């Protein structure tokens, strides 16, 4: 946990300093302290550099951190709930729903894009709600199996509708495609404040349920004999993970890979208990996405590379290296 | 020599337990318990009681309703009739309350491959930990003591997938004991073990039963072991009680033949224990024997 936190702080500090204009660490620190309420700190940092740090880079770093934390924690929670190492936060259709919501807003919403996060959030949440209702309709004993299949079906349907809308309005394809690949290029403090309430609720609930995720690993029946309500617990965790993931993708677009690799990397390096995985994955996910965004905006500067490309390009080899070095596999099976 | 002393001590305890049986009141009471699955009656009006500190083994042929009866007591299947745990009707008990009263070891427990032994045993503390909290130092200390007692301390950090069958069984028992429930239900706890590990696992349960004052209700397929370890046997056939009594009363050739549909021989050893030996009945054996005779 300490290592993950230190790494995240270091990456965040570098991200605040580095860009088309390099700002010295002392000026970054001065700018940040000047914005701490009640501190009344006065900095000698030039106004331009203050604006670069506080108006452009800080919201971007904070937003990337929040989104990374939510995607990693959501992935960890879903892997625990479904006892499936391939589960990611998009498993139940939140990405397809958010994609459709964003597409509807882009195609029919006119020039203003202020409602795009709202449409994406609502689309993602509705998609998971539909998946859940269809999944549990098949009986709670088949819950894990049927809800994953329901997620696949709902995602396929929504993606088909989204593709149809996208093709009908070819002029908007580029804008939709950019959103789907994910980006923090227009991140602002208003985005942070927009998603913060949902993210805080989601993070608190997931952290509070980290021990329950361990209990659920022994299966529905045995978990029940240990005194918990597995179905109720699962519903709460799914709702919290969906809330956080939908809020995250509504402002960032569909950034892939974070939800799988961060949780697995934590599992392979820090232990298999969700009491450890959930909090460390949050911190690790934040650091990972801040770093990925830093690379995305600097590697081909002034052009920005879609952050989804970066997360896959650095995430996959890193994950494979950890996997090979541990030789422990990612088994999470029942026995 | 020390091993022999332990066995004699445990045998004395068992004898003492049998003599004391009935003097502590019933902790598990079944009153015409019936379980139906889609119009099929699996457990049919079973009535029985288990005294505090007693070990009752549920025996019977495959499909006799043994596991279902145990699952009804554990609260895992719906039933008609009444089950009372320590004098309280079990039906309205919440899951947490029931987990305080009963711990359950299923026949094939789910053991996550990459979970450590200590984390697995710690799961048994769940009924004692608030819903959104994590374990306290007291819970951790309790599990450490249990691991010491079960001689598992050196395995605490090992993954469950790396354990032998005997070690796994002790770990599962450790998780159940971590619940500190006065009633321990075990569904065929030794089915996957070889002979020496079977004895070892059952001796551990018996020792802990006496030391911790546990009441044990277990399904056992091995009738000889059931007779050696249990104070009383509950023999089921087609969901109904065929016999309930001490091993000497229940392990009767005619009774077992009726329950299992196959003849057995009961042998009493010099030290008074009963051995249940199945008799061969199949024509295959007879034909083979005749073939050998003809060849000569």
pLDDT of residue B286: 52
Shortest Cα distance, chain B CAs vs residue A204, angstroms: 10
Per-residue pLDDT 10s for chain A (335 aa) are 788 888 888 888 888 888 888 888 888 888 888 888 877 778 787 888 888 888 889 999 999 999 999 999 999 998 888 877 777 788 888 888 988 888 888 888 766 667 788 888 888 889 988 888 888 776 655 566 788 888 889 999 999 998 888 888 777 788 788 778 887 877 888 889 888 998 999 999 999 999 999 999 998 889 999 999 988 898 899 889 988 888 888 888 888 888 888 888 888 888 888 999 999 999 999 999 999 999 988 888 778 888 888 888 887 787 777 667 655 444 444 33
pLDDT of residue B1: 40
Q: Strand (E) positions, B65-182?
A: 80-85, 88-89, 102-105
Cβ–Cβ < 8 Å for A110, A246: no
Residues of B with CB under 8 A from a CB of A: 74-76, 95-96, 98-100, 102-104, 106, 108-116, 119, 123-124, 126-127, 129, 131-135, 159-161, 179
CB–CB contact B113 A267 (8 Å): no
Closest CB to B115 among A209, A217, A222:
A217
pLDDT of residue B230: 93
CA distance B229 to B204: 11
pLDDT of residue B244: 92
Prior bond to A265 cis, omega within 30? no
| A146, part of any domain | yes
For residue B136, which residues of chain A lie inside 8 Å, CB to CB?
none
Cβ–Cβ < 8 Å for B235, B60: yes
Nearest CA in chain A to B115: A272
Interface probe for B, chosen from A213, A221, A225, A233 (most Cβ of B below 10 Å), is A225
pLDDT in tens, B5-47: 444 444 444 444 443 444 458 899 999 999 998 889 999 999 9
- Average pLDDT over every residue of B123-137: 89
According to CATH, the superfamily of the domain at B2-86+183-295 is P-loop containing nucleotide triphosphate hydrolases (3.40.50.300)
Cβ–Cβ < 8 Å for A219, A180: no
Distances from the Cα of B33 to the Cα of A44, A124, B39, B51, angstroms: 82, 48, 15, 18
For residue B184, which residues of chain A lie inside 8 Å, CB to CB?
none
pLDDT of residue B17: 45
Q: How many CB pairs under 8 A join A and B?
A: 91
- Average pLDDT over every residue of B89-107: 92
Backbone angles phi, psi at B60, to 5 degrees: 155, 170
For residue B111, which residues of chain A lie inside 8 Å, CB to CB?
218, 334-335
pLDDT in tens, B215-267: 999 999 889 999 999 999 999 998 999 999 999 999 988 889 888 888 888 88
Containing B41, the helix (H) or strand (E) segment is strand B40-51
CB–CB contact A272 B119 (8 Å): yes
Closest CB to A225 among B74, B114, B135:
B74
DSSP-assigned letter for residue A305: P
pLDDT-derived band at B143 (thresholds 50, 70, 90) equals very high
CB–CB contact A228 B95 (8 Å): yes
CATH code at position A217: 1.10.3470.10
Closest CB to B106 among A83, A222, A271:
A222
Mark which residues 59-98 of A lie under 8 Å from B by CB: 83
Shortest Cα distance, chain A CAs vs residue B140, angstroms: 14
Nearest to A79 by CA among A329, A261, A307, A279: A261
CB–CB contact A334 B110 (8 Å): yes
Containing B33, the helix (H) or strand (E) segment is strand B26-37
| A331, part of any domain | no
Shortest Cα distance, chain B CAs vs residue A237, angstroms: 12
Q: Strand (E) positions, chain A?
A: none
The reply to whether A208 touches chain B by the CB within 8 Å rule is: yes
| A80, part of any domain | yes
Q: Which residue has the tokens 């007291």?
A: B138
The yes/no answer to whether this complex scores an ipTM above 0.85 is no
DSSP-assigned letter for residue B251: -
- Average pLDDT over every residue of B99-122: 92
Shortest Cα distance, chain A CAs vs residue B44, angstroms: 23
| A176, part of any domain | yes
CA distance B202 to B189: 8
Give the range of the structural domain holding residue A33, as residue numbers without chain letter.
2-326
pLDDT of residue A68: 94
Other CB atoms within 10 Å distance of the CB of residue A328: 15
For residue A83, which residues of chain B lie inside 8 Å, CB to CB?
112
pLDDT of residue A327: 55
| A104, part of any domain | yes
| A320, part of any domain | yes
| A332, part of any domain | no
* In the predicted structure, residue B119 carries a pLDDT above the cut 90: yes
Tokens for A89, please give them.
């936060």
Other CB atoms within 10 Å distance of the CB of residue B37: 11
Cβ–Cβ < 8 Å for A66, A286: yes
Closest CB to B104 among A83, A211, A225:
A225
Distances from the Cα of B98 to the Cα of A86, B75, B133, B154, B170, angstroms: 35, 8, 20, 32, 23
State how many domains chain A has: 1
Burial string for A78-98 (b: 16+ CB within 10 Å, else e) reads: bbbbbbeeebbbbbbbbbbbb
Q: Which of B23-27, B122-126, B267-271 has the highest mean pLDDT?
A: B122-126
pLDDT of residue B3: 42
Q: What pTM does this model have?
A: 0.81
Q: Which residue has the tokens 């951190």?
A: A65
Tokens for A128, please give them.
């998971």
CB–CB contact B124 A267 (8 Å): no
Ordered by start, the domain boundaries in chain B are: 2-86+183-295, 108-181
CA distance B285 to B166: 34
For residue A266, which residues of chain B lie inside 8 Å, CB to CB?
none
Cβ–Cβ < 8 Å for A327, A105: no
| A128, part of any domain | yes
């Amino acid at each position: 946990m300490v290592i993950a936190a230190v790494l995240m702080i270091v990456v965040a500090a570098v991200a605040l300093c580095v860009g088309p204009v390099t700002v010295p660490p002392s000026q970054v620190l001065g700018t940040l302290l000047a914005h701490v309420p009640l501190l009344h700190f006065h900095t000698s940092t030039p106004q331009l550099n203050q604006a670069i740090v506080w108006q452009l880079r800080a919201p971007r770093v904070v937003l990337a951190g929040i989104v990374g934390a939510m995607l990693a924690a959501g992935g960890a929670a879903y892997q625990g709930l479904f006892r499936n190492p391939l589960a990611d936060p998009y498993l139940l259709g939140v990405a397809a729903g958010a994609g459709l919501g964003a597409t509807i807003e882009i195609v029919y919403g006119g020039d203003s894009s202020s409602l795009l996060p709202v449409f994406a959030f609502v689309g993602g949440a509705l998609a998971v709600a539909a998946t859940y209702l269809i999944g549990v309709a098949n009986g709670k004993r088949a819950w894990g199996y049927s809800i994953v299949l329901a997620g696949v079906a709902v995602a396929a349907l929504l993606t088909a509708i989204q593709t149809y809308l996208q093709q009908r309005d070819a002029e908007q394809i580029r804008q939709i495609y950019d959103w789907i690949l994910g980006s923090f290029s227009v991140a602002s403090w208003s985005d942070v404040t927009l998603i913060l309430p949902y993210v805080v609720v989601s993070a608190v609930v997931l952290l509070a349920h980290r021990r329950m995720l361990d209990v659920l690993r022994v299966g529905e029946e045995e978990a029940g004999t240990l005194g918990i309500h597995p179905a109720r617990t699962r519903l709460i965790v799914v709702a919290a993970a969906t809330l956080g993931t939908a809020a995250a993708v509504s402002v960032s677009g569909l950034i892939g890979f974070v939800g799988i690799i961060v949780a697995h990397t934590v599992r392979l390096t820090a232990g298999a208990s969700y009491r450890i995985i959930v909090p460390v994955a949050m911190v690790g996910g934040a650091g990972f996405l801040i770093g990925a965004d830093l690379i995305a905006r600097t590697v081909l500067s002034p052009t920005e590379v879609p952050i989804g490309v970066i997360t896959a390009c650095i995430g996959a080899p890193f994950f494979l290296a950890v996997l090979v070095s541990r030789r422990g596999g990612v088994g999470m099976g029942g026995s | 020599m020390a091993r022999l002393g332990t066995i004699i001590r445990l045998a004395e305890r068992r004898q003492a337990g049998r003599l004391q049986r009935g003097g502590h009141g019933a902790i598990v009471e079944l009153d015409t318990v019936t379980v139906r699955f889609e119009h099929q009656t699996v457990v049919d009006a079973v009535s029985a009681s288990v005294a505090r500190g007693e070990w009752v083994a549920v025996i019977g042929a495959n499909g006799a309703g043994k596991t279902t009866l145990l699952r009804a007591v554990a609260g895992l299947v719906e039933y008609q009739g009444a089950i009372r745990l320590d004098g309280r009707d079990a039906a309205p008990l919440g899951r947490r309350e029931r987990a305080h009263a009963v711990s359950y070891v299923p026949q094939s427990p789910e053991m996550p491959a990459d979970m450590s032994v200590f984390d697995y045993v710690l799961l048994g503390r769940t009924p004692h930990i608030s819903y959104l909290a994590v374990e306290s130092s007291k819970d951790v200390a309790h599990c450490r003591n249990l691991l010491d007692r079960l001689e598992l301390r050196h395995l605490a950090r090992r993954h469950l997938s790396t354990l032998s069958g005997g070690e796994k069984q002790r770990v599962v028992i450790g998780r159940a004991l971590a619940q500190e429930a006065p009633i321990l239900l075990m569904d065929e706890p030794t089915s996957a073990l070889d002979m020496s590990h079977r004895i070892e696992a059952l001796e551990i349960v018996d020792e802990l039963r006496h030391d911790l004052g546990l009441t044990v209700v277990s399904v056992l397929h091995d009738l000889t072991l059931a007779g050696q370890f249990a104070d009383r046997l509950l023999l089921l056939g087609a969901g109904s009680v065929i016999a309930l009594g001490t091993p000497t009363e229940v392990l009767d050739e005619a009774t077992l033949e009726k329950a299992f549909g196959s003849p057995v021989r009961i042998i009493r050893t010099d030290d008074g224990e009963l051995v249940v030996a199945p008799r061969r009945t199949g024509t295959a054996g007879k034909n083979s024997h005749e073939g050998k005779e003809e060849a000569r």
